[in-house]
């Protein structure tokens, strides 16, 4: 039985009200707000943090493949899936692949994983997107940032695969070339009428026919859509009761999250699913992808680490277009302190930086970070045992630093005592400076520290635990 074993989602804590964007350009506001990746987040960290939740306590060594989907990969050349695999601490012998360049890369990665799972393999599919609409366009208001992840396998599934369907169709509705900084959409109703509506209808109809089902049989459908209105246009002809059978797209709270959107919507559907439910997921872009699942009894005992709905509720509202502009490097800075880095050290310390291993002294038992050659507490000289550090801890001490250059001051430096041992010194994120206090429970979150040497310098930060 092939299907979904687990899932996770990640909504960044910042929200940018569309009114803030509209006010900046004296244009009408579309209303609502969009989720916004902070300056230390990108498509990879969004997908990464969803993946950590999706994998949960499962043994990462059992994962045979990791697929990362995005239209905004951190590198033009350099795989993100390999980073996800290393952070999750999988075996090296696994298949990693990035699915890019199409809005439906998220669902395409999912369909590919479902095919591979038939051979008995456990796979992780993740997607993250932080797409850039050009300033002073509808797209700037429309897009939102998020990440989603699914663990796909053939044992202990919470939703069993019923069928899949894909349609590929050459179409220029929204695109971005190597030379373009922002996505271009052909103006007017062209894309919705001749692209989105048709492809979603065709894909979903094809899937239902394959499975000998009708729209009324579907319990809940997670269907990617640029806007809630577009969704209605596409599904009306199929006979769906939009209100009761189709997951709302979080357009008001998150926005169009690109390749991650169908995965986030699917997570939201699964959060409320009951055994026997028939669940449909569909992605749009250069055609469409769709998959149908039947929820199993396994859903009853399933606990998601962090629900989509709770993440939508816990938010910080950014009232400054200028800060958004700085996060996204829309404003040029004449002079910045040169951040330094080197791939050499990042490779040498990879096991400490990415999967966060520390050392345990065989003599005195103290867990320490980084992995010292000689124990920092007792001087034991014959090497420490590598040990994976906990992702949760409490704040031992901190400071809000207004001197360090950052797009989002202050920088909060945090000394964190991890559960089970180990003390790390990291930055605190997703937390207002006046909320920080000694003893507060924290969880680690994977973030981008800076881009010194023109590379993405990822490491862990801490944030208030839920």
Partner 1 sequence: MNIRDKVAVIGAGCSKFGENYDKSAEDMIVEAALDAYTDARIDPSQIQAAWVGTLSSASAGNALADPLKLFNIPITRVENYCASGMDAFRNASMAVASGMYDVVLALGFEKLRDSGQRGLGTFGDHPVVGYGTTAPSLFAMAANRYFETYGIDKTALAKVAIKNHHNGTMSPKAHFRMEVSEDQVVNAPLICSPLGLLDCCPTTDGAAAVIICKEELARSFRPDPVKVKGVGLSVTSGEPYMKPSFAYTGFPATAQAAQSAYEQAGLTAKDIDLVECHDCFTITEILNYEDLGLCERGEGWRYVAEGRANIDGGAVPVNPSGGLKSFGHPIGATGIRMIYEVSQHLWGKAGDRQVKDAEVGLAHNLGGPGSVGCVTILANS
Which one of 123, 424, 442, 462 is in contact with partner 1 (CB under 8 A)?
424
Does residue 160 belong to the site contacting partner 1 (CB under 8 A)? no
Does residue 240 belong to the site contacting partner 1 (CB under 8 A)? no
Which one of 101, 136, 271, 401 is in contact with partner 1 (CB under 8 A)?
401
Binding mask 266-305 for partner 1 (x = CB under 8 A): ----------------------------------------
By CB under 8 A, what part of segment 436-465 binds partner 1? 438-439, 449-450, 452-453, 457-459
In the bound complex, what is the minimum distance in angstroms from residue 12's beta carbon to partner 1? 20
Tell me if 11 sits within 8 A of 308, measured CB to CB: yes
Which one of 233, 355, 383, 410 is in contact with partner 1 (CB under 8 A)?
410
Q: How many CA atoms lie within 13 A of 370 on its CB side?
A: 10
Which one of 4, 369, 389, 440 is in contact with partner 1 (CB under 8 A)?
369
In the bound complex, what is the minimum distance in angstroms from residue 460's beta carbon to partner 1? 9
Does residue 10 belong to the site contacting partner 1 (CB under 8 A)? no
DSSP bridge partners of 17? 33
Does residue 345 belong to the site contacting partner 1 (CB under 8 A)? yes
Which one of 168, 310, 342, 350 is in contact with partner 1 (CB under 8 A)?
342
Kindly calculate the radius of gyration of the chain based on its CA atoms and give it in whole angstroms: 22
Does residue 427 belong to the site contacting partner 1 (CB under 8 A)? yes
In the bound complex, what is the minimum distance in angstroms from residue 426's beta carbon to partner 1? 9
Instruction: Determine the interface stretch with partner 1 among 218-226, 254-262, 320-328, 334-342 (rule: CB under 8 A).
Output: 334-342
Residue written as tokens 């096991």?
351
Which one of 95, 176, 210, 413 is in contact with partner 1 (CB under 8 A)?
413
Which one of 132, 162, 346, 371 is in contact with partner 1 (CB under 8 A)?
346
For residues 461 and 48, what is the distance between their CA atoms, to the nearest angstrom? Answer: 13
Going by C-alpha positions, the residue among 11, 24, 23 that lies closest to residue 144 is 11
Instruction: Determine the interface stretch with partner 1 among 49-57, 66-74, 196-204, 333-341 (rule: CB under 8 A).
Output: 333-341
For residues 392 and 411, what is the distance between their CA atoms, to the nearest angstrom? Answer: 20
Does residue 205 belong to the site contacting partner 1 (CB under 8 A)? no
Tell me if 459 sits within 8 A of 447, measured CB to CB: yes
Instruction: Determine the interface stretch with partner 1 among 93-101, 215-223, 295-303, 432-440 (rule: CB under 8 A).
Output: 432-440
Q: Give the Cα-Cα-Cα angle 430, 433, 435 (nearest 5 degrees).
A: 85
Q: How many CB atoms are closer than 10 A to CB 466?
A: 11
Going by C-alpha positions, the residue among 30, 267, 36, 268 that lies closest to residue 144 is 36
Does residue 387 belong to the site contacting partner 1 (CB under 8 A)? no
In the bound complex, what is the minimum distance in angstroms from residue 366's beta carbon to partner 1? 6
Kindly give the interhelix angle for 43-55 and 81-88, rounded to the nearest 10 degrees: 40
Which one of 377, 382, 386, 466 is in contact with partner 1 (CB under 8 A)?
377
First CA to last CA across the chain, in angstroms?
34
For residues 310 and 298, what is the distance between their CA atoms, to the nearest angstrom? Answer: 22
Buried b (16+ CB within 10 A) or exposed e, 29-50: ebebbbbbbbbbbbbbbbbbbb
Pair of tokens at residue 132: 């850039």
Q: How many CB atoms are closer than 10 A to CB 331?
A: 12
Q: Kindly list the residues in this chain that would bind partner 1 in the complex (CB under 8 A).
A: 337, 340-342, 345-346, 349, 352-353, 366-370, 376-377, 396-406, 410-411, 413, 415, 417, 421-425, 427, 433, 438-439, 449-450, 452-453, 457-459
């Amino acid at each position: 039985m092939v299907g979904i074993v687990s899932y996770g989602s990640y909504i960044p804590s910042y929200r940018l009200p569309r009114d803030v964007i509209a006010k900046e350009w004296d244009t009408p506001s579309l209303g609502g707000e969009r989720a916004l990746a902070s300056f230390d987040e990108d498509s990879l960290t969004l997908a990464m943090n969803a993946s950590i939740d999706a994998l949960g306590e499962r043994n990462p060594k059992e994962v045979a493949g990791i697929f990362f989907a995005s239209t905004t990969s951190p590198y033009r050349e350099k795989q993100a899936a390999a980073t996800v695999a290393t952070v999750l601490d999988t075996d090296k012998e696994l298949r990693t692949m990035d699915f890019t360049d199409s809005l439906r890369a998220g669902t395409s990665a999912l369909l590919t994983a479902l095919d591979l799972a038939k051979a008995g393999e456990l796979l992780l599919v993740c997607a993250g997107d932080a797409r850039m609409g050009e300033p002073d366009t509808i797209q700037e208001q429309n897009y939102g940032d998020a990440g989603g992840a699914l663990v796909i396998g053939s044992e202990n599934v919470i939703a069993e695969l019923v069928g899949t369907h894909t349609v590929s169709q050459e179409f220029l509705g929204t695109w971005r070339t190597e030379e373009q900084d922002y996505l271009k959409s052909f103006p007017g109703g062209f894309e919705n009428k001749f692209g989105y509506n048709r492809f979603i209808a065709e894909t979903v109809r094809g899937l239902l026919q394959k499975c000998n089902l009708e729209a009324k049989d579907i319990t809940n459908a997670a269907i990617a859509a640029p806007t809630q209105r577009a969704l209605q246009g596409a599904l009306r002809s199929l006979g769906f009761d939009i209100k009761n059978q189709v997951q709302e797209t979080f357009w008001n709270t998150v926005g169009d999250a690109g390749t991650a959107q169908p995965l986030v919507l699917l997570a939201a559907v699964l959060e409320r699913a009951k055994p026997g439910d028939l669940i449909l997921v569909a992605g749009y872009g250069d055609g469409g992808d769709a998959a149908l699942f039947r929820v199993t009894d396994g859903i009853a005992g399933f606990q998601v680490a962090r629900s989509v709905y709770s993440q939508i509720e816990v938010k910080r509202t950014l009232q400054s277009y200028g800060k958004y502009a700085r996060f996204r490097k829309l404003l040029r800075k004449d002079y910045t302190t040169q951040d330094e880095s080197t791939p050499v050290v990042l490779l040498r310390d990879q096991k400490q930086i990415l999967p966060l291993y520390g050392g345990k002294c065989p003599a005195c038992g103290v867990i320490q970070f980084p992995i010292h050659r000689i124990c920092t507490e007792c001087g034991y000289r014959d090497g420490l045992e590598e040990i994976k550090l906990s992702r949760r801890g409490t704040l031992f001490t901190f400071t809000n630093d207004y001197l360090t250059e950052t797009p989002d001051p202050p920088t909060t430096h945090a000394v964190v005592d991890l559960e089970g041992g180990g003390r790390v010194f990291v930055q605190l994120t997703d937390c207002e400076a006046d909320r920080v206090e000694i003893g507060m429970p924290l969880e680690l979150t994977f973030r981008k520290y800076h881009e010194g040497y023109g590379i993405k310098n990822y490491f862990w930060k801490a944030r208030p635990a839920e």
